[in-house]
A and B are shown apart, each in its own frame.
Chain A
Amino acid sequence: MSITENALGDRQRLAYIASQAADSRLNVELETEGMTLNIGPQHPATHGTLRIIARLDGEQVVWAEPSCGYMHRGYEKLAEVRTYPQVTTLINRIDWLGSFANEVPFVLAAEKLMEIEAPVRAQYIRTILFELSRIANVSLFLGDLGVQLGAITPVFFAFRDREYVLNLIESATGGRFHPNFDRIGGLKDDLPAGWVDEARAVMKKLRGFCDQIEDLLFGNEIFQSRTRGIGVVPRDVALQYGLSGANLRASGVDWDLRRDHALPMAWNKVAWKVWTHPDGDSFARCWIRLQETRESTKIVDQLLDSIPAGPVMAKVPKIIKVPEGEAWVSTENPLGEMGYYVVSRGDLGPFRVKIRSASFNNISITPWLLRGVYVPDIVTILASLYFILGDIDR
C-alpha cells in the first residue's frame, strides 16, 4: 500500500510543479528556440529538385534561402559549340512543361540577325503551338496547386485534360514533351489533316476544365483563406526583382510581351484580354494564371478560324550562317519573360547565348518574400510563384 501512496504523492507533487510553471508563464510570451528547417531537395511540391533552407523562430520564418544548382546543365556553354539548328534541341529542356515556347524566342533572334521572317502561315502555327504549350503548362500548375494545399482531386483532372493538349502537340510535331519543331525560317512541317477540327474540340474541353478548377479550388473557402493576403509582392518590389509573366501582372503591372512587343507572331491579329490583379498575393497569382488559360483557348480558337494558306518555310540556305551582330528577343512564356541574347560572329554557331529564364528571377525574390511568413505558407507561396527547376538552373 505504501508504494501506491508514495506514487500518488509524487504525482501530486509533479502536478503542483506543473501548475506553478504554467502560472508563471501566464501572460508571458513563450520562449522558443531557433531551428533550421530543410525543405527538399526532394519535395513533391517542386517541379524538380530545389532545396529551401529556412531558419525558424517558432512557427515563423526569420530567414530563408533557396539553394539551386542541382540541375545546372550549362546550356550557355554548350550552345557555344553547337550550330544554330542544334541549339533548339538543348533549349527544349529548359522549361520542360512548355517546350515549344522555349524554341520560339531563340529562333526569332536568329531570324532577326539574318533579317528574314517566317511565312505568315508559319507565324500562325507557331502562335497556336505556343499557346498550346502554355495551356499544357499552366493546366498542370492549376492541378498541382490543389495538391500543395491538401486537395487531391484537381490534379487528376489536370493530368487528364493536359493529355488532350499533349496529344494535339504530338500529332502536329511528333513529340509530346520536346517537339523541336521550330526551324530558322519557319516550321519543320505543316499541320496534319483534320488537326484543326480536333484542336477546336480540345479547346472546348479545356474551357470546361478551367470552369471545373474554378469551382473546385478558387471558390473553396480553405483555398481562399490559405492564399488571400499571403505572400504579398508590391508593384515596385516585383519590378525591382524582375518578376515577369503572371507574377508581375498579379502585382498590378499591365505588361504582356505578347501584346506590347512587336514580334513576327500572330497575337496582334486576334482579340484577347490581358488580365491584371491589384492584390499581389498568392491568390492573385493563381487567379491570373486561370484567366490566362481561358484567354489562351480563345486565342487558339480565333487563330484556327483565320489561319491562312501558304508555305510554312521561308527560303533559307541548307547550311545556316548567321551574320555578325547581337540580338535580344524575348517572349511571354508560360512562366514569364523568356529571352535569348544572341551574339553572332558570322559563324555556324553562336558566339555567346545568354538565356534569360523567367523562373530564375521569379525565385530570386523568395529570400525577401519568405521573411516572417508561417511554415505552412512557405509551400503556398512557392507554389503560387510557380517555377520549374529546369528553368532556374538552365
Chain B
Amino acid sequence: MSTPSSTQPRITSVAEVKAALGDQLVDSFFKDDLWLRVRTDAWKSSMRTLRDSLGFHYFCFLSAIDWMPSPYGRGEDDPTEPTPERDTTIRQGYAGGTTRLQVFARVGNPITHVGVTVKVDVPDDSPRIESIHDVYAGANWHEREAHEMFGIVFDGHPDPRNIYLPGDFEGHPLRKDFPLLARMVKPWPGIVDVEPLPGGDETAAGEEQ
C-alpha cells in the first residue's frame, strides 16, 4: 500500500522540457524532481516558455541562495578565542552553477500536478537579473523579498521597496557574510549543555564526538 515518494517521479517527460527550452537550458538534474538551470540572459524568456508552452501556470515561489559558506560558521565560537579558519569555497548544488548567488523559482502545472525548480546564475560583479513579475504576477512580492534579503536587483520591477525590513536598513540579512548578531555578542548556550546521551548506541554517538 505504502508507496515511497522516491519511486514516483513527478515529471512525466524530462525530454519534453529540455526540447522546449532548447539552448536556453544550461544544465539539468533529476532526482525524484526536476532541477533546471537556464542562461542568465534567457531567464525571463525561459520562464515564459515554461508557462506558455509547457503549462506551468502555477507560481509557487521565488528566492535566492548564497552558496558561500558562512565565515562565522554556525555562530558557536567562543568570542574570547581567536576566530578559527573556515573553508569558504563556493560549491553550488543540483544543476550546478558558476556564481556565488543564484536565484531559483518553482512553478507548477495545475493539470498534471508536476512542478519544476528553475535556477539561474546571478553575476558576481553586479547582481542584476530581469524581473519576471509580468510573466508570473505573484513574483512581484517574492522579488521584493529577494531584493532586500540578498541585494539582488530585479530589472524592470515596478516597486522595489523593502517588504519586511525598515527602509533604511543596511546590509542584506540572508547573505552568508551578514553576521547573526545574537550569536556574536553572547556564546550560544546550546554548546555547553551537550552531554552523553544515556543508553545510546555507541556507533552513532561515537562518530560525532
Contact = CB atoms under 8 A, between A and B. Distances in A.
A364 B197 contact: no
A349 to B, nearest CB: 6
Interface string A260-281: 1111100001000000000000
Interface string A297-332: 000000000000000000001110100011110100
A367 to B, nearest CB: 9
Give the interface size class of chain B.
35 or more
Interface stretch (A5-13, A112-120, A209-217): A112-120
B63 A264 contact: no
A253 interface: yes
A151 interface: no
B148 to A, nearest CB: 10
The listed residue with most B CB atoms (<10 A of its CB), out of A86, A237, A255, is A255
Nearest to A361: B138
A81 B5 contact: no
A170 B74 CA distance: 33
A115 B33 contact: no
A239 interface: yes
A242 B60 contact: yes
A325 B201 contact: no
Given A69-B163, A241-B59, A318-B200, A112 B32 contact: yes
A117 B1 CA distance: 14
Interface in B102-118: 104, 106, 110, 113, 115, 117
A120 B3 CA distance: 11
B123 interface: no
Given A69-B165, A318-B201, A361-B138, A77 B75 contact: no
Contact of B164 (A72, A364, A365): A72
Given A77-B173, A269-B1, A368-B137, A69 B93 contact: no
Contacts of B200: 318
Nearest to A321: B208
Interface string A198-242: 000000000000000000000000000000000000001101111
A368 B159 CA distance: 14
Interface majority SS (helix, strand, loop, mixed), chain B: loop
Given A77-B180, A318-B204, A318-B205, A112 B113 contact: no
Nearest to B173: A77
A262 B205 CA distance: 33
Range class of the A interface residue count: 35 or more
A354 B63 contact: yes
A68 interface: yes
B65 to A, nearest CB: 5
B140 to A, nearest CB: 7
B69 A345 contact: yes
A360 interface: yes
A241 B113 contact: no
Contacts of B70: 80
Interface in B47-69: 57-61, 63, 65-66, 69
Contact of A328 (B59, B69, B75, B117): B117
Contacts of B115: 328
A131 interface: no
Interface in B145-181: 149, 162-165, 173-174, 180
A123 B142 CA distance: 33
Contacts of A345: 69
B204 A239 contact: no
Given A117-B4, A361-B138, A339 B60 contact: yes
B43 interface: no
Given A264-B4, A354-B63, A240 B136 contact: yes
A112 B57 contact: no
Contacts of B138: 240-242, 361, 364-365
Interface in A335-394: 337, 339, 341, 343, 345, 348-349, 351-352, 354, 356, 360-361, 364-365, 368, 393
B168 to A, nearest CB: 14
B2 A364 contact: no
Contact of B137 (A117, A240, A319): A240
A77 B179 CA distance: 10
Contacts of A317: 204-205, 207
B2 A264 contact: yes
Contacts of B164: 68-69, 72, 393
Contacts of B110: 239, 253, 255
A77 B35 CA distance: 24
A349 B164 CA distance: 25
A318 to B, nearest CB: 5
A194 interface: no
Given A345-B69, A356-B61, 8 more contacts: A81-B75, A117-B2, A242-B60, A260-B113, A261-B10, A351-B69, A364-B138, A393-B164
11 contacts: A81-B75, A81-B180, A240-B137, A240-B138, A317-B205, A318-B197, A319-B205, A325-B31, A341-B63, A360-B141, A364-B140
Interface of A: 68-69, 72, 74, 76-78, 80-81, 86, 112, 115, 117, 120, 123, 236-237, 239-242, 253, 255, 260-264, 269, 317-319, 321, 325-328, 330, 337, 339, 341, 343, 345, 348-349, 351-352, 354, 356, 360-361, 364-365, 368, 393
